Amino acid sequence: MLYFIVHSDTLSVFKKSSDIDSVHLELKVKFHHNLISIDNNSKLLSSVIAQALDELGEKIDLENKEAAIAIDDSILSHSLSNISKKKQSNLSENIKEELKSKWKELFKNYFSISESKKSSKNIFHTVGMNHYLREKIKLNFNNFGIDIRFLVPISSVVLSGIKSTQYAVTKSSRIYSIFNYSKKGFSVHSGSFTGKEKGFKRIIGLGNVIKIKEKDLKTPNLKYIIFNDIKVVEFLAKIIKDSTPILNFVKPFGVQILGDESHSKAKMILDKSDYSYLFRYLQSGIAGILTLGLLSLTLVTISDVDFVYNETPLNVQEVSEKKQSIPSISRLDKYRINSYAIIDEFFIIGESDNMSKIQSIVMIDNRISIDTKSNDGIGGTYIAKSSKLPFIDQSMSVYDLITLVSNLDNANQFKRINGSFLDMASDNLVIRCDSIDISMKILESIKQYNNLILRKIAYTKSDNSVHLYVTVLRS
């Protein structure tokens, strides 16, 4: 797994050495624009993030990697809501109404996730992330063959391993950010000992303003725990290893943690018209530049819908019945099923009347993301419908596949990478086609061999290119 930290002006990638269980910085690149200054510009955000990944990809292999990303709280928003136990039976609606009256239409701009820990009683802490920023991070990382498993606030990482009487401290330039999660809920203080920002103030929190002396942050002590990027990644790696509940922007919109444990409810069933409305609702806001504490979550009445994957929700009984009826299948067969599913889905989309409106398509495993640059109800993210695994007993070598690709069109480009897949020797082939028609011919051939697994499809309308990421299992 690769570990990334996103600051407003830099993108860093870290690796963990399994033999000595240590973390080290692989590379850091500077964004060509500060993310805070462009968070309402979808195209520029995408370009800036893609350019940074290009620079990383020149020196680091990013393809077919899983990623955990920690994002600086300076480009997020935080909020607190006090919800009595009497109102918690309709928790999402009450939080929504409280924040809507406070922030008016601003809450539409953010994808928000929330938590309430035991120590904070009725206090709900919410973190919001600009819709554009979240989607462009997901889209561009996926385009580079990176599967994002965690996208988490740095504040959630640093507070995961400290006591309620302690403070987690991060520093950017001369500015300190001081985080705490006590009985009175989440709090943030910010300030400096020099310059225009001299002095400390409470950004958000229900407790008293803390009094901080310079020596408190300059000398090691047990009250103020200083975190640099390496320490943040070390904490994040431990969270993942121990399966500790943490706020995660990859997971569904809404309340994720209750009482220090992952929160899971029965999902409401919506028809297609409801879903189309929700996607337009989530994608419609143009986010402004907001400081910590100036925006937060609205949990709409359907807060437990999985907005990330757009799959048809099920109630608890339905889930239980399906789990009993579906026989277990191997991990390899799951990848094969996903491969057939996204190929079939790509054929349907490519031959549809909507194709002219689509600017980009990313299919990874069985997740489909479509971008039309408009709120037309076509764009969004969903799960490809799985089909039965066909019986196929023939295989193809990577060399035969390369020959096939070259013979179809000598303009096709490819890159071969040796590796392993599920502990099996394999070759990974990245194929670039200059037309959808050619890519479909290649995909039709891939379906005919049991050792060819399509991992990803990436289509870009601007240059009419299609990239195919194929794993070829060796005999």
> Is residue 291's pLDDT more than 50?
no
CA dihedral sign of residues 432, 434, 437, 438? negative
Q: What CA–CA distances, in Å, run from 459 to 248, 268, 350, 368? A: 27, 33, 10, 11
The whole-angstrom separation of Cα 83 and Cα 120 is 11
What confidence category does residue 19 fall into, taking pLDDT thresholds of 50, 70 and 90? low
What is the token pair recorded at 2? 């690769």
The whole-angstrom separation of Cα 248 and Cα 69 is 10
**CA 474 from chain center: how many Å?**
32
The whole-angstrom separation of Cα 255 and Cα 239 is 19
Q: Which amino acid is at 421?
A: F
**Taking the CA of residue 199 as centre, how many other CA atoms within 13 Å lie in the half-sphere pointing to its CB?**
5
Give 299 or 95, the one with higher predicted confidence. Answer: 95
pLDDT of residue 186: 92
Which of the residue ranges 270-279, 366-375, 465-474 has the most confident prediction, judged by mean pLDDT? 465-474
Location of structure tokens 């444990």: 261
The whole-angstrom separation of Cα 188 and Cα 155 is 9
pLDDT digits (tens, 9 = 90+) for 312-351: 233 333 333 333 444 456 888 888 899 999 999 999 898 8
The whole-angstrom separation of Cα 398 and Cα 426 is 9
Q: Within a 10 A sphere around the Cβ of 27, how many other Cβ atoms?
A: 14
Query: Which DSSP helix (H) or strand (E) runs through 146?
Result: strand 146-153
Average pLDDT, the chain: 80
Give 17 or 241, the one with higher predicted confidence. Answer: 241
Task: Answer whether 253's CB lies under 8 Å from 111's CB.
Answer: yes
What is the token pair recorded at 36? 């805070």
Give 137 or 87, the one with higher predicted confidence. Answer: 137
> Is residue 293's pLDDT more than 60?
no
> What number is the average pLDDT over the span 391-417?
84
Between CA 437 and CA 442, with CA 441 as vertex, the angle to 5 degrees is 115
Give 113 or 173, the one with higher predicted confidence. Answer: 113
Which residues have a Cβ under 8 Å from the Cβ of 318 and sit 6 or more positions away? Answer: none
pLDDT of residue 10: 95
The whole-angstrom separation of Cα 427 and Cα 432 is 16
Q: Is 364 helix (H, G, I), strand (E, B) or coil?
A: strand
What is the token pair recorded at 179? 């985080």
pLDDT of residue 287: 31
Give 203 or 263, the one with higher predicted confidence. Answer: 203
Task: Answer whether 395's CB lies under 8 Å from 450's CB.
Answer: yes
CA dihedral sign of residues 244, 246, 251, 255? positive
> Is residue 463's pLDDT more than 70?
yes
> Is residue 103's pLDDT more than 50?
yes
pLDDT of residue 301: 26
Q: Which CATH class is domain 1-164+229-304?
A: alpha beta
Give 353 or 440, the one with higher predicted confidence. Answer: 440
What is the token pair recorded at 78? 């935080």
pLDDT of residue 20: 60
**CA 173 from chain center: how many Å?**
27
Task: Answer whether 184's CB lies under 8 Å from 207's CB.
Answer: yes
